[in-house]
A and B are shown apart, each in its own frame.
Chain A
Amino acid sequence: MGMFLLTRAFYSVITLWLLVSIVFGLVRLTGDPVKMKAEAGADEAYMQQLRRDWGLDQPVYRQYTSFLGNLVRGDFGHSFTKSLAVRTIYFDRLPNSLKLGLAAFAISMLLGVPLGMLSALKPNTWLDSFGKMFALLGLSMPGFFIGLVLVIIFGVELGWLPVLGKGQSAFVWREPFTWVAFWFQDWQYLAMPAFALGWYFSGAMLRITRSSMLEVIGSDYIKLMRLKGIPEWVVMAKHALKNSLIPILTLAGLNLLVMINVAVVVEVVFNWPGVGQLLYDALVNRDFPMVQGVVLMSGLLIVVLNFVIDVLYAYTDPRIRLSR
């Protein structure tokens, strides 16, 4: 197993390095970021000074190496438009995204997994058709469309739910008393964006649950379990679930990360001040250090998660755990 993990770790590092390089290259392709800071009447001297401040007067390879060096030290640079360290802004926004992401994740799991299991247990019934349609619709409707429809119905027509941002509660790192309260306040703001985001992912969860459950249920050992006369719920809860859990959890983990880090469209539609909106703002404002920072953080988390999944996989599956 050691060898297996070592290879995976090595691959993860290579993947990260490639990701960093791709993002760095793409961002350099967009031209001189200093020009984005200038406005009508700004003189060349001012821009030269900015260029020096941000180290953009260096040759590209020097910029690249110092960029890598800074990343290793956890320094993502300074935002152009928000003037603070990218890291600071990212972590200020992260709790908002976590709140939305976790709520949407809960919705996607609570809807997707049980419905998927039911569909798998009763294939080709009306329940299965309903599940299929629910999943397909979720996967086929763009997030902003679901969002707008929700806003029309619950925000404008019925006036039940606010459509404006995340409410007053905020998570402030400097003030520990907000650390707990934040999660329990302003749920009315959370409801629509969480559902709009959750539906798409519950569709994906439903499908993967259904297909991996079907695969397991169709297997000989589940058949034998039944022939042994073990209560059905034991068969399902103990054997079928444990065996189909790996693909479900893998997808769930990835979904969670995507929901937290890059729920761009839904956060924009609902003015949710999370990481996704931060990324969108940064992109349309050509705030490239910020873009780099957010994209790399999400990439980093995904690579780390993939690695963790490999490790967990190795541990849960005795076939890998007990090999060398």
Chain B
Amino acid sequence: MATVTAPRQSPDLVARVVRRSLWLMRELPVIPLLVLAVLTFVAIFAPVLAPHSELDPVKPTKEQCVARYEMANCPYVDNIPPFWLQHGNFNVPLGTDYLGRDILSRLMYGARISLVVALVGTLAAGIIGTWLGVLAGYLGGWWDQIIMRVTDAWLTLPSLVFAILLSSVRGPGLWNVVLILMLVFWSRYARIVRGTVLGLREQDFVKLAEINGVKKLRIIWRHIIPNVMNTVMVVFSLQIGVAVIIEASLSFLGVGVPPPEPSWGLMMAQERESLMEGRWWLAVFPGVCITLLVLSANMLGDWLRVRLDPQLRNR
């Protein structure tokens, strides 16, 4: 009945590395990571990778001008379709917009805006929210009451409404969007971190430090903060997707990143009318980019959540 299994030998190194990486591949969400990596790469190296300027029209040839406008000389040719459609060409692979600008280049620079806004905004919110959450949870008493009541009031406002409200105070602009994201999202960290800290405060290593007379700030710094980092990481990864959507929505509604910057949401808003003309790609390309980015961020976030903090449910 008992069959003899393979003899125990030291497997050779190559096989081990291969096995190990195969195992990692199974565990890691490969596709989302790949998408994120590509988008980040594109965002960082947009000036090198982009075939054209994101703000200036692509210089047309004389033939194009004649064909399109019956003019020998024109500043740009608008609404060139993507290369697989009739009249498309590989110089502008995804075509041009109504101002003759290369869509591919605009999408590449758009990745920059989305990522910078979402990352910086979420990070800043994370720092503020974590500190407030730690203070509320660890110090307790009035600190807790005041911080948590403000947090509750803050959370009452749906995030998009709050963001629009703030944007009407601050006006449009990339860094204003970052500020808005920070102001909107800190409360989510504060609420969750506080809960985690309440649990930590009762743990023996904290009690021990307290008995030994370690200063509060030092306890927070040495014992509390490192232990809430898992929670913070998970919330962070899940908030990034939301932040990207909020930025796109604000720009779509015309209160976010101002033109002519190529924010994806803005690109969609500007080309809404082109849908009626059958030029669906103008609005769909940026939409697909947003969806890909958010989807990847969310999948990564889910994976992190399972890995780092199974208790944390849909927040």
Residues of A within 8 A of B (CB): 11, 14-16, 18-19, 22-23, 26, 29-30, 136-137, 139-145, 148-149, 151-152, 156, 204, 207-208, 211-212, 247, 251, 258, 261-262, 264-265, 268, 279-280, 283-284, 286, 291, 295, 298-299, 302-303
* In contact, B165 and A283 (Cβ under 8 angstroms): yes
Report B-chain residues with C-beta under 8 Å of the C-beta of A143.
249
* In contact, B157 and A208 (Cβ under 8 angstroms): no
* In contact, A156 and B278 (Cβ under 8 angstroms): yes
Report B-chain residues with C-beta under 8 Å of the C-beta of A15.
149, 152-153, 156
Q: Does B24 contact A (CB under 8 A)?
A: no
**The 8 nearest A-B residue pairs measured at CB:** A18-B153, A145-B287, A140-B294, A140-B295, A19-B153, A299-B156, A262-B161, A15-B152
A-B pairs with beta carbons under 8 Å apart, 12 shown: A11-B149, A136-B299, A137-B291, A140-B241, A140-B291, A142-B245, A148-B287, A156-B276, A261-B158, A265-B249, A291-B168, A295-B165
Most A-side CB within 10 Å, residue of B152, B290, B313: B152
**Nearest CB on A from B224, distance (A):** 25
**Nearest CB on A from B309, distance (A):** 13
**Nearest CB on B from A25, distance (A):** 10
* In contact, B168 and A136 (Cβ under 8 angstroms): no
Report A-chain residues with C-beta under 8 Å of the C-beta of B115.
none
Report A-chain residues with C-beta under 8 Å of the C-beta of B153.
15-16, 18-19, 22
Report B-chain residues with C-beta under 8 Å of the C-beta of A251.
314
How far is B134's CA from A14's CA once the two chains are assembled, in angstroms? 22
B284, closest chain A residue (CB): A149
* In contact, B290 and A142 (Cβ under 8 angstroms): yes
* In contact, A136 and B298 (Cβ under 8 angstroms): yes
How far is B149's CA from A163's CA once the two chains are assembled, in angstroms? 43
**Nearest CB on A from B134, distance (A):** 21
How far is B71's CA from A134's CA once the two chains are assembled, in angstroms? 50
* In contact, B287 and A295 (Cβ under 8 angstroms): no
Given A149-B287, A204-B314, A258-B158 contact (CB < 8 Å): yes
Which of the four size classes fits the interface of chain B? 35 or more
Most B-side CB within 10 Å, residue of A142, A211, A280: A142
**Nearest CB on A from B110, distance (A):** 14
* In contact, B265 and A264 (Cβ under 8 angstroms): no
Most B-side CB within 10 Å, residue of A144, A149, A262: A144
A143, closest chain B residue (CB): B249
A215, closest chain B residue (CB): B313
* In contact, B313 and A145 (Cβ under 8 angstroms): no
Report A-chain residues with C-beta under 8 Å of the C-beta of B150.
18
Q: Which single member of B241, B253, B299, B313 contacts A268 (CB below 8 Å)?
A: B253
* In contact, B152 and A142 (Cβ under 8 angstroms): no
* In contact, B160 and A30 (Cβ under 8 angstroms): no
| Beta-carbon contacts under 8 Å, B31-71 to A | none
Q: Which single member of B152, B166, B275 contacts A148 (CB below 8 Å)?
A: B275
Most A-side CB within 10 Å, residue of B156, B272, B291: B156
How far is B157's CA from A15's CA once the two chains are assembled, in angstroms? 11
**Nearest CB on B from A299, distance (A):** 5
How far is B250's CA from A280's CA once the two chains are assembled, in angstroms? 11
Report B-chain residues with C-beta under 8 Å of the C-beta of A30.
168-169
Q: Does B254 contact A (CB under 8 A)?
A: yes
Q: Does B268 contact A (CB under 8 A)?
A: yes
Q: Does B255 contact A (CB under 8 A)?
A: yes
How far is B156's CA from A11's CA once the two chains are assembled, in angstroms? 13
Report B-chain residues with C-beta under 8 Å of the C-beta of A149.
284, 287
